[in-house]
Amino acid sequence: MSSADISDPGHGHSPAAWTAVIIMMIAFLLGTIAFWFASMWLIWVSLALVVVGPIVGWIMAKAGWGVAGPRYVPKQTH
């Protein structure tokens, strides 16, 4: 497959995608800890972060940090 293939979406290797995933991973970690300690308020905070993660990723993609955005520069492969 050629690196010039524009049909390849990039599989989310962008700052927007990574930021969204990291936020959601932190949310799941907090949710697990909150569940372990039976902290209801922290469970709700972690649930809110799970919802915020994709929204932040979408906003960053619209701001140009997504795979097709003008600010995103993919790494050169060998």
Per-residue pLDDT of 28-61, as tens digits, reads 999 999 999 999 999 999 999 999 999 999 999 9
What residue ranges in the chain does DSSP mark as E strands? none
Task: Report the distance separating Cα 46 and Cα 36, nearest Å.
Answer: 13
Task: Report the distance separating Cα 72 and Cα 49, nearest Å.
Answer: 25
Amino acid identity of residue 16, one-letter, is: A
69 pLDDT above the threshold of 50: yes
Domain boundaries, the chain: 15-63
8 pLDDT above the threshold of 70: no
Q: What is the mean pLDDT of residues 12-17?
A: 86
